[in-house]
Amino acid sequence: MAVLLRESERKEEIEALNKELWDKLQRYDETYAEAYYKICLKNVGKEEKVFWGPTFETSPTNTEFFKSKGFWIAALLGVLIVVFLVFFILWFSLITE
């Protein structure tokens, strides 16, 4: 059974972690610190399997771009341009011989 933090025997240890976090955030600008705390507050109460720590919304593995029609049209046009360029270079070199 979980014990509330205010009744916990480890309350001082957790307060020390909070102080350590505060000390580390002192080295960053206020925008970063505020965003960090807002993310933390948004995730308070979520289960551990849902929230593994604060992360910013920008994910380096955003794959939505690859699902758009524009990406596939651009990729197809890029491949076709290369194929036609090679074809016309070979065709022109055969004609000039």
User: In this predicted model, what pLDDT tens digit does every residue of 43-95 receive, in sequence order?
Assistant: 777 765 555 555 555 555 667 777 889 889 999 999 999 999 999 999 999 99
pTM: 0.43
Q: In this predicted structure, what is the pLDDT of residue 46?
A: 72
Delimit the domains of the chain by residue range: 10-57, 67-96
Other Cβ atoms less than 10 A from the Cβ of 51: the count is 15
SS3 content of the chain, % helix, strand, coil (to 5): 65, 0, 35
